Amino acid sequence: MTIVDMLRANAEKYPSEVALVEVNPERRENRHITWRDYDLVETTDDEPFRREMTWSVFDEKANRFANLLLSRGVRKDDKVAILLYNCIEWLPLYFGVLKSGATVVPLNFRYSSDEIAYCLDKADVDILVFGPEFIGRVEEIVDRIHAGRLLFYVGDDCPTWAESYRELASLCSSADPRVPLSADEDAAIYFSSGTTGFPKAILHHHESLTQAAEMEQHHHGQTHDDVFLCIPPLYHTGACMHWMGSLLAGGRGVLLRGVSPKTVLETVSNEGCTIVWLLVPWAQDILVALEEGTVRLENYHLDQWRLMHIGAQPVPESLILRWRAVFPHHAYDTNYGLSESMGPGCVHLGLENIDHVGAIGVPGYRWECKIVDEVGHEVEPGEVGELCVRGPGLMECYYKDPEATAETLVAGWLHTGDMARQDEDGFYWLVDRKKDVVIMGGENIYPVEVEGFLMGHPAIKDVAVIGLPDERLGEIPAAIVELKPEAEALTEDDVMQFCKKLPRYKRPRKVIFAPVPRNPTGKIEKPALRAKYGADSIVARETRH
């Protein structure tokens, strides 16, 4: 079975039930839009912009797009890129590409024009599907990318240099093309997040997608009655693959644009969401808003919310302890994964292991893990080394990059670049990114450990620790500290005093009060911080922001 078969099954079992909902409080129009057959039905009220789609229409729209691609000569091994914000069209387009037998290439909506062009060339993309927010960026490079490439536009007022997806698809058959697919055929190319350099193109087979769906349901027990709230960008494997558990169960998915605490809680309440995947900053913001009284739990219907889980970056133990104090009935899970392992879950905490909060967990469903030293030998429990994983969701390769592939895939094991240790109970603990380790005077300092400690300060909203060059010690640890909005101003001395509970060599040598930049999947953008603050003379600023 492929994920395309899962969609077909849901369209047959639950044709008139809602599959997808889009909620967008950021839209100016206050309209409810419902897909009926292929037409839009609109009603005006005071609620946020909202659209919904049934399973039968979802499947039909995927079929129409697949037939459009096939009518343009698209065949297996061709590549179709999607450049859209989260919207109700995103997933039917994704499945339409797969139904045609082509390879789907989701693109990061933060990419600049040059990065878009780079990724289209790197992945050998034949067709680009893009939305209105990207007209300017695509137009800047249209002369470079148009030759031999089709451009399909999703939205109103199609540019003259592109073709209207909506008009073309409406003329195509809604019949399923039934292109044969097998587990070992190419399915998707995802780009790495780029926090450690320029993004790599990661090629996955259909088996990876099926494994993600089965693993997600195995870990979190999605049923047909569950409603999954998806906030992170769908171009990222984490968001899309967590939703795959709902696909397998035929459960409803809600796509939310907007991450304010009020928006999240309103959507959980209004849509009856039972499962929510958050990033660390969003969970932190919700707790701060509740503490400050800007949102109040009694204003929302949240009893049905059964599971909150977090992934994409290290999770401070202090954050989860605070969350559990506010939401004691929530099940909780941490999910670790990479785009190279088709997203989350190759390591996961497990709903039953709340007593091990702070660990990333144990090997996920059908995955294996080990920790190795610099020469590839397994280390003893308790020792720090590089985390390696292998399982059915492993990438095929870095597309057109055999050298990087050979460095990362060794004897069937994916070397993650993350430093970890395994405790006596078999749980894995993430220590840090291999490239982020600060080496001060020969001592290894793992920023994640220091960041987790500093997040325990009641005035600190977010923190990043990086290495700054030092003539004598090589590097010294510096903490970029972002304060909570209503917190009293801290000084560098205040932070240093708080850090006295840490071993002396782990304490930050500099403190910089500034915002902590994170990418759309919640990862700290440390290369940007190192570029900004990596000069030899850094003056710690005693300012609030």
Residue range 411-415: mean pLDDT, rounded: 95
Among 88-102, 113-127, 458-472, name the most confident range: 88-102
CB burial class (10 A; 0-12, 13-18, 19+) of residue 170? middle
* DSSP letter for each residue of 114-140: HHHHHHHHHTT-SEEEE-GGGHHHHHH
Task: Indicate the range of 22-31, 171-180, 321-330 predicted with least confidence.
Answer: 22-31
Q: Can you tell me whether residue 416 is helix, strand or coil? A: strand
Is residue 372 domain-shared with residue 479, that is, in the same domain? no
Domain-embedded: residue 496: yes
Domain-embedded: residue 68: yes
Residue 167 has pLDDT above 60, yes or no: yes
Neighbouring residues of 18: CB distance < 8 A, sequence distance ≥ 6: 52, 53, 54, 55, 252
What confidence category does residue 312 fall into, taking pLDDT thresholds of 50, 70 and 90? low
- pLDDT at res. 249: 96
What confidence category does residue 195 fall into, taking pLDDT thresholds of 50, 70 and 90? very low
Residue 380 belongs to domain with CATH number: 2.30.38.10
Task: Indicate the range of 28-32, 132-136, 318-322, 430-434 predicted with least confidence.
Answer: 28-32
Is residue 313 domain-shared with residue 242, that is, in the same domain? no
Domain-embedded: residue 38: yes
* 305, 323 contact by CB (below 8 A): no
* 208, 342 contact by CB (below 8 A): yes
Structural domain tally of the chain?
Answer: 3
State how far Cα 216 lies from the chain centre.
14
What confidence category does residue 71 fall into, taking pLDDT thresholds of 50, 70 and 90? very high
Domain-embedded: residue 118: yes
Which DSSP state fits 106? E
Q: Which of 394, 409, 433 is the last residue of a domain?
A: 433
Residue 251 has pLDDT above 50, yes or no: yes
Is residue 55 domain-shared with residue 162, that is, in the same domain? yes
Selected residue with higher pLDDT from 27 and 171: 171
Q: Which of 202, 225, 258 is the last residue of a domain?
A: 258
Neighbouring residues of 497: CB distance < 8 A, sequence distance ≥ 6: none
| pLDDT per residue as tens digits for the range 321-358 | 899 999 999 999 988 888 899 978 899 999 999 888 88
Domain-embedded: residue 321: yes
Domain-embedded: residue 233: yes
Is residue 390 domain-shared with residue 518, that is, in the same domain? no
| pLDDT per residue as tens digits for the range 454-490 | 988 988 888 988 888 876 666 788 999 999 887 778 8
Task: Indicate the range of 86-90, 115-119, 525-529 predicted with least confidence.
Answer: 525-529
| pLDDT per residue as tens digits for the range 30-61 | 444 443 333 344 434 556 789 999 999 999 99
Residue 535 has pLDDT above 50, yes or no: no
Neighbouring residues of 531: CB distance < 8 A, sequence distance ≥ 6: none
- pLDDT at res. 473: 65
What confidence category does residue 450 fall into, taking pLDDT thresholds of 50, 70 and 90? confident
What confidence category does residue 252 fall into, taking pLDDT thresholds of 50, 70 and 90? very high
Residue numbers of the domain that contains 347: 306-433
- Give the Cα separation of 436 and 342 in Å (integer): 23
Domain-embedded: residue 266: no
Residue 88 belongs to domain with CATH number: 3.40.50.12780
Domain-embedded: residue 292: no
Is residue 404 domain-shared with residue 450, that is, in the same domain? no
State how far Cα 9 lies from the chain centre.
26
- Reading the block at residue 202, the tokens are 């990661």
Residue 514 has pLDDT above 60, yes or no: yes
